[in-house]
């Protein structure tokens, strides 16, 4: 039997964004502690999900929204850029 393993702070790969463990504000100190670490030499993996699709693929388990207006997509992308900008100023990044 395979156990369901929740993504944890500091994982190289984030399977859910934000990781389930960060959906609780109690976990924010742990996230901030990780982001304040000096940058490592390890490669940085970055996955940016843009959850707007023309149709839902049968095999897809990602969040995807169909038929959203361009204004919603644009607002989402603007906020992704803002969030990436915030992360880019963190020492770990
Ligand atoms: S439904 Fe899923 S797999 Fe298909 S295009 Fe959208 S995100 Fe990609």
Residue 81 lies in a domain: yes
pTM (predicted TM-score): 0.68
Phi-psi domain of 71 (left: phi exceeds 0; alpha: psi -120 through 50; beta: other): alpha
Q: What pLDDT score does 54 carry?
A: 92
Q: What is the count of structural domains for the chain?
A: 1
Q: What pLDDT score does 93 carry?
A: 87
Residue from 47, 55, 59, 60 whose mutation best tests the ligand 1 pocket (most atoms within 8 A of CB): 60
Q: Which residues span the domain enclosing 50? A: 20-88
pLDDT band at 20; cut points 50, 70, 90: low
Residue 10 lies in a domain: no
Residue 8 lies in a domain: no
Residue 7 lies in a domain: no
Residue 6 lies in a domain: no
Cα(5)–Cα(67) distance, integer angstroms: 33
CA of 55 to the centre of ligand 1 (A): 8
- Give the residue with greater pLDDT, 33 vs 10: 33
Residue 66 lies in a domain: yes
Question: Which candidate, 49, 51, 50, 31, places its Cα nearest to that of 93?
Answer: 31
Please give the number of the atom of ligand 1 that sits closest to the Cα of 52.
6
Residue 60 lies in a domain: yes
Write out pLDDT tens, residues 31-73. Answer: 889 889 998 888 877 778 888 999 998 888 788 899 999 999 9
Residue 13 lies in a domain: no
Q: Whose CA is nearest to atom 2 of ligand 1?
A: 60
């Amino acid at each position: 039997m395979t156990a369901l393993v929740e993504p944890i702070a500091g994982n190289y790969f984030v399977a859910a964004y934000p990781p389930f463990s960060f959906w609780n504000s109690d976990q924010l100190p742990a996230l901030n502690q990780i982001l304040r670490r000096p940058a490592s030499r390890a490669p940085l993996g970055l996955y940016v999900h843009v959850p707007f699709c023309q149709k839902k693929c049968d095999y897809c388990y990602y969040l995807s929204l169909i038929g959203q207006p361009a204004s919603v997509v644009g607002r989402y992308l603007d906020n992704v850029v803002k969030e990436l900008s915030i992360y880019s100023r963190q020492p770990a990044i």
